[in-house]
Amino acid sequence: MADFVAPLQNLVDRFRALPGIGGKTAVRLAFAVMESSEEEAAAFADAILRAKQDIHLCSACCNISTSELCHVCADDGRDHSIICVVEDAKAVLALERVHEYRGLYHVLGGALSPMNGIGPEQLHIRELLARLGDDTVKEIIVATNPTVEGEATAMYLSKILRPLGLTISRLAYGIPVGGDLEYADEVTLHRAIEGRRPL
Amino acid sequence: MADFVAPLQNLVDRFRALPGIGGKTAVRLAFAVMESSEEEAAAFADAILRAKQDIHLCSACCNISTSELCHVCADDGRDHSIICVVEDAKAVLALERVHEYRGLYHVLGGALSPMNGIGPEQLHIRELLARLGDDTVKEIIVATNPTVEGEATAMYLSKILRPLGLTISRLAYGIPVGGDLEYADEVTLHRAIEGRRPL
């Protein structure tokens, strides 16, 4: 995929650096941008810059926000005694879509992964502990992802939070609603049986 | 997919406006940009602006170029007596990758499509005719895509170019190399039989 004029090749390379974008898709996207209007291209470039410049981390929960406190932390109607700990901002959005949870969040910014050099210092765990200083928070729900790293992070959190005398829980594992037992993997089924509830 | 902070939602929408990018991919790409470094985001935004600002159409062949004449038209080593007419810049790149063709190109900027309001005036046909003014060009190879629109464009070109006394040809249709007869469609097979050559 060489031989493009330099500015086009440069744009192709930029698109290709994005996750899940291969060579042909990068070319298609670069051509689309090149063929868009001058205004659209300017708006796209501006959107990229603004996403970097205007978005910061909430000073309390480390979720993405355009203001000092994110809209969840700034909402007095939310239950400030519960904190749901998640790996990233996408998890907050997923949970918010359910319209079920009314507590606060804490975004770790990843999960423990020693192989990738991510230890407790790389995550926003210090910030989480700082929020537990007064007696406002009574309960922590650990909602890290159901992966090896997410599990390890949950274990680590339970270990350091237990001495604080808080209620600590983990999201339930089990078969997904609408799923088919036939296609559920063994570990999930095992957890579903383990976590069975009286009818 | 609502509830994103505005600058992020804006970027998601920009990505989503690109061809073949759905909602979830747009979110993934927007997050990737947001999580990239300040320098990378600035370079990406700059690449978009430059792709618009620095790329123009070659004044001769209408291919994309950063200079007045594209590198093909500016190359004295190329055969200036043959012009290969293609629909877009991507076709030029595809043909250049073959390292076979040594003539020039002419990029129409699309194909005739009355349904979409694309008539001869919307294509760079006037510019093609201007290049045939002196007697330099002896041969035209019509290499529009093997689609209904590409075919219609080829027909139209042959009609208006025939009176000029040039050699006019069309790329050969047939079964693609490495293909399997079993999977070739009827029209392609028909063209392959029609265009059979002595062994």
Q: Does any domain span residue B189?
A: no
DSSP A115-129: GGTB-GGGTTHHHHH
Q: Are residues B44 and B124 in the same domain?
A: no
Q: Does any domain span residue A61?
A: no
Domains: count for chain A: 2
Share of chain B above pLDDT 70, in %: 98
The answer to whether B42 contacts A30, with C-beta atoms less than 8 Å apart, is no
Say what the pLDDT of residue A198 is: 73
Q: Does any domain span residue A182?
A: no
Q: Are residues B164 and B108 in the same domain?
A: yes
Q: Are residues B88 and B122 in the same domain?
A: yes
Q: Are residues A80 and A127 in the same domain?
A: yes
Say what the pLDDT of residue A1 is: 39
CB pairs under 8 A between A and B: 135
Q: Does any domain span residue B197?
A: no
pLDDT exceeds cutoff 90 at B43: yes
Please report, for the domain that includes residue A153, its CATH number: 3.40.1360.10
Domain extent at residue A31: 6-54
Q: Which two tokens stand for residue B19?
A: 């061809």
Q: Are residues A147 and A77 in the same domain?
A: yes
Say what the pLDDT of residue B146 is: 87
Interface check A56 vs B, CB under 8 A = no
Better-predicted residue by pLDDT, A2 or B133:
B133
Buried b (16+ CB within 10 A) or exposed e, B5-31: bebbbbbbbbbbebeebeeebbbbbbb
Q: Are residues A39 and A126 in the same domain?
A: no
63-82 in chain A: CB under 8 A from chain B: 64-66
For the residues A115-135, what does the mean pLDDT come to?
93
Q: Does any domain span residue B184?
A: no
Q: Are residues B128 and B167 in the same domain?
A: yes
Residues from chain B that touch A3, judged by Cβ atoms under 8 A, are: 93, 96-97
pLDDT exceeds cutoff 50 at B160: yes
Residues from chain A that touch B99, judged by Cβ atoms under 8 A, are: none
Q: Are residues B120 and B93 in the same domain?
A: yes
Q: Are residues B101 and B140 in the same domain?
A: yes
Separation CA A101–CA A140 (nearest Å) = 13
Q: Does any domain span residue A184?
A: no
Residue of B nearest to A67 (CA): B5
pLDDT exceeds cutoff 60 at A70: yes
DSSP A29-84: HHHHHHHS-HHHHHHHHHHHHHHHHT-EE-TTT--EESSSS-TTTT-TTSEEEEEE
Confidence of residue A3 (pLDDT cuts 50, 70, 90): low
Q: Are residues A141 and A112 in the same domain?
A: yes
Say what the pLDDT of residue A134 is: 85
The whole-chain average pLDDT of chain B stands at 90
Q: Are residues A35 and A74 in the same domain?
A: no
Sequence-distant (6+) residues with CB within 8 A of A155 are: none
Confidence of residue B141 (pLDDT cuts 50, 70, 90): very high
The answer to whether B30 contacts A51, with C-beta atoms less than 8 Å apart, is yes
Q: Are residues B77 and B50 in the same domain?
A: no
Q: Does any domain span residue B46?
A: yes
pLDDT exceeds cutoff 70 at A2: no
The answer to whether B64 contacts A32, with C-beta atoms less than 8 Å apart, is no
The whole-chain average pLDDT of chain A stands at 90
The answer to whether B52 contacts A65, with C-beta atoms less than 8 Å apart, is no
Residues from chain A that touch B27, judged by Cβ atoms under 8 A, are: 90
